[in-house]
Structure 1
Amino acid sequence: MIGIVEVDPSDEAALRAYWETEQTAIRADRPHALLRTWDMLLKDAQSPGRYYRRRLLAARDGDVTVATAEIGGFVEDNTHLADLEINVLPDRRREGIGRAVYDDAMRRCAEQGRTTVCGELHVPMGTEPVAAAPYAFATAMGLAEVHAEDHLVLPLPVDDGHVAVLRTAAEAKAAEYEIITWGDVCPDDYIEAFCALRTRMDSDVPIGEVDYQPVVYTVERLRTSEERVAKLYGSVVSAARRRRDGVFAGYSQVYVPHGEPDVLQDDTLVMPDHRGRRLGTLLKLATLGVLTEEYPASTSIHTWTDPDNHAMQRTNRDFGFRAVERMYEMQVKRS
C-alpha cells in the first residue's frame, strides 16, 4: 500500500530518504543532470526563504521512499503559480505511483490557490520528446509544452589559447567598456544599477508561454537573496560598465555549489542599447577567469539557453559549450 506524506524538514532521516530517492531516480535517466547536494536540501528545507517556499512529498511503500515530489511557489509574487517536480524510482515505475503523487500534489496546489502548475523535464538531445517517458507522463496528466531550453555543458578548464583568441576579438569591439567583478555580495556603489539589471533580466529572459509575471528587484530583495544563496553557493558576478558615463550595460552570474565541481551559469544579460559589441563574451570571460583562479577544482559549467536565442547560443558555442539534453517546461492551468 503506497502512502503519500509531507516530509517534516526537522526529520533528517525522512529528508535523507527523500534526497536519496530523488538522486537515484534522476541519475537513472540523466547522466548530465546538475543535482542539489544533501547539504543544499537540508539547509533549504530547514531554513525556508522569504520569497520562495517548498513543500516536499514522499510516496512510501512501508518504510521505503519510492517516489518524491516537490511543490514550490512564490510567497509575495506570482502566488497563482506552483512549480512541481516528481521523481519515481526506476524499478517502481508503471505502477501508478507517479499518477498518485501527481494527484496528491495537485490537490495541495489547489488548496493553496495555485491555479497554474509548471514542471520541467529533460530529454536527451536527438530524442523526440513524444518518445520520452517523462514527456508522455506529463502530457497524460494534462500538461502542455510552453517553453524549451537547451542544457549546455562546458568542460573545464578551457584552453588558455582559446580564451586569448576570444578575448582579443571581444575587446576589439568593446573598448569603451570596462568589466568589473564581485563575489557573494554586490558592492554598495553598484547595488542600484545591479537591481535594475536583475529586474530587466526577469522581464527579458525567454520563457515562452509560462504563466509568470516578472518581479522587481529591490535592494532588500537582492540582499536577502545574496544572504540565502551564500549558504549554498559561492557567487561570481561580472558587470559591463561604459567608461565615459558609468552606465551599466549588462552582467553575468555563476554559482559554485560549496564543495562541488560542477558550476551553474545563471543569468547573462546585455541591455538592448549595448548589444552587438561582444559584451556577452567579455562577461563570460570575466567569470571564467575568476573560476580559474578561485575555484580551480571546478570541472564543468552548466547553462540553459533558449534554442531561438541565437546570440547567446552563438556565444556559448564560441566557448565550447555543447548541448546534452533539452529541457521542456510543461504547464497546466486549473480554475
Structure 2
Amino acid sequence: MTTIAIEQLHVPESLEGEDAADLHAAVEVSRRVRVDTWGNDDLAYTASELLATCHDPYEWYVVLLARVDGEIVGRAGIAMPLADSTDLAHVTLDILPSAQGHGVGRELLEAAEQFVLGENRRIVMVETNHPATTLDWDGGERLEAATGAGYLPLSSREVRFASSAGYQLQQVEQFSACSLPLPQADADRLRAEALSGQDGQYTLHQWMDRCPDQWLADIVRLESTVASVAGDDGTAEEAWTGERIRESEALAAAGGRHTLVSAAEDIHTGHVIGFTSISVLGHREDVAFQDDTVVLQEHRGRDVGMLIKVANLELLAHQFPHVRTVYTWNAPDNTYMLGVNAKLGFVPAGITGQWHKDFIFNK
C-alpha cells in the first residue's frame, strides 16, 4: 500500500541554499509532467518564476507537495485572488507519470480543497490538458462544456478524474502553436488584405514592456472589456486600472519577462481601439506566448485584429529573432480569431478543459 504524505511548501527567501530544495523539486515535477503531456518543456516554468508567483500582490499562491517514500512526486498549486473573486481558488495539479494510478492526485486535490475551504473559498477551478494526439475527434462519448462550444472525450483519464471528483466542465479552450518566423510574403499579403478595407482609418502604434502614458487609459478600457467577458461564468474579475497595469509591468520586468504590444488608433477619435500582446519569458529565448487580442465591438469586421497581429509577429521577429514558436489559447466559438490565427500559421496542438466545483451546491 502506498503511503502518501501531503505538506505545504515552505517558500524560501531565495533560490540558494538547502531550504530551496523542495521548491526546485516541485518545479522539476511540473516540468516533467509538461514534457510527458506536450512532448517538450515549452510550457514549464522556472524556480524563479514560481518564487515570484508566491509573492504576487494580486493573489495568494500556495503549493502543496505530495511525497511517497520521501520523494516529491506531485504538487498542487493553489491561486487565490486577493481583491475580487475572493470566494474563488484555482488549483493546478501535477503528478509524475510514474506516480499516477496510486491515489496521489486524489489526495492532493482533496487536501487542496480542504485548504481553500479553510480560507472561506467556496468555488474551486481546476484545469485538464489534452494533446491533440490523445483526443477522439471521430466518435465516442463526449462531455459538452457548460458554456461556449467544445467538448472533451469521456474516454480521457483526466476527464474521468475530474468528473469523479465532482467537477463540472465549464469551458474548453483550443491550444495552438505557430512556427516562426512568419514568411515575409505571407506577412505582406495578409497586411495588404487587412488594409484594403480600412480606408486609412487606423494608425499603428507599438511598444515593448511599458505602455506609453498617452494610451494608458485606452488600454485600461480595452482590458476591462476582456475582464467583463471573462466574468460571464459568474466569477468576478478584478477591475483594471492604470495603477494595476503599471504594477503588472513592474512585476514582469522584475521576472525578466518582456511584453510586445501592437495597437490600432482610430484617427477619427484619437483613441486606441484595439491591441494585441505577446509575452517572452525571461528564462528562454525560443518560446513566446500570444496573450490578449482585443478590438472594440464597433470596429470589428474590418480586419483590425489581423493588422495588429501581423505587426506584432514582425515586431517579435525583430526584437527576439531566436523565438521559434508562439503558443496561444482560444475559445472554440471564437471563430473569427481562430480564422485569423489559422491564416497566420497557427495549428491545433490540443485542448484545455476548465472545471468548476461550487461547494455551496455540493454539500
Measured against the shorter chain, the TM-score band is: over 0.9
Task: Name the counterpart of 2:8.
Answer: 6
2:254 aligned counterpart, secondary structure = coil
1:123 aligned counterpart, secondary structure = strand
Match of residue 27, structure 2, among 5, 19, 23: 19
Task: Name the counterpart of 1:214.
Answer: 237
Q: How does 1:173-322 map to 2 (within 5 A)?
A: 173-174=197-198, 175-205=200-230, 209=233, 211-232=234-255, 233-260=257-284, 261-322=286-347
> Cα deviations across residues 268-320 of structure 1 (Å, max 9, x unaligned)?
01100001110001111121111111100101110001111111111111101
Q: What is the Cα deviation at residue 237 of structure 1?
A: 1.1
Q: Is the 8 A contact 2:204 2:263 kept in 1?
A: yes
Task: Name the counterpart of 2:16.
Answer: none
2:172 is aligned with 1:148: yes
CA distance in 2, matches of 1:61, 1:291: 44
CA distance in 1, matches of 2:79, 2:238: 17
Q: Is the 8 A contact 1:54 1:71 kept in 2?
A: yes
CA distance in 1, matches of 2:176, 2:96: 26
Q: Is the 8 A contact 1:183 1:234 kept in 2?
A: yes
CA distance in 2, matches of 1:247, 1:185: 18
Counterpart amino acid of residue 277 in structure 1: R
Counterpart amino acid of residue 92 in structure 2: E
Counterpart amino acid of residue 167 in structure 1: R
Task: Name the counterpart of 1:334.
Answer: 359
Task: Name the counterpart of 2:146.
Answer: none
Q: What is the Cα deviation at residue 85 of structure 1?
A: 0.9
Task: Name the counterpart of 1:34.
Answer: 43
Task: Name the counterpart of 1:325.
Answer: 350
- List gaps (5 residues or longer) in structure 2: 13-18, 137-151
1:131 aligned counterpart, secondary structure = coil
CA distance in 1, matches of 2:262, 2:81: 27
Counterpart amino acid of residue 181 in structure 1: Q
Q: What is the Cα deviation at residue 31 of structure 1?
A: 2.1
CA distance in 1, matches of 2:339, 2:243: 35
1:76 aligned counterpart, secondary structure = coil
| Range with bigger deviation, 35-44 or 96-105 | 35-44
Counterpart amino acid of residue 247 in structure 2: T
Q: What is the Cα deviation at residue 27 of structure 1?
A: 1.8
CA distance in 2, matches of 1:145, 1:277: 34
2:154 aligned counterpart, secondary structure = helix
CA distance in 1, matches of 2:36, 2:357: 26
- List gaps (5 residues or longer) in structure 1: none
Counterpart amino acid of residue 283 in structure 1: I
1:215 to 1:42, Cα distance in 2 relative to 1, 3 A: closer
Q: Is the 8 A contact 2:64 2:75 kept in 1?
A: yes
Task: Name the counterpart of 2:145.
Answer: none
CA distance in 2, matches of 1:281, 1:81: 35
Q: Taking structure 2 as the reference length, what is the TM-score of the superposition?
A: 0.88
Task: Name the counterpart of 1:53.
Answer: 60
Task: Name the counterpart of 2:86.
Answer: 79
Q: How many residues end up aligned between the 2 structures?
A: 331
CA distance in 2, matches of 1:286, 1:200: 22
Q: What is the Cα deviation at residue 208 of structure 1?
A: 6.5
| Structure with more contact order per residue of length (Cα contacts < 8 Å, sep ≥ 6) | 1
Q: Is the 8 A contact 2:34 2:43 kept in 1?
A: no
1:318 aligned counterpart, secondary structure = helix
Task: Name the counterpart of 2:143.
Answer: none
Q: Taking structure 1 as the reference length, what is the TM-score of the superposition?
A: 0.95
Task: Name the counterpart of 1:124.
Answer: 131
CA distance in 2, matches of 1:101, 1:225: 31
Task: Name the counterpart of 1:88.
Answer: 95
- Identical positions, percent: 27
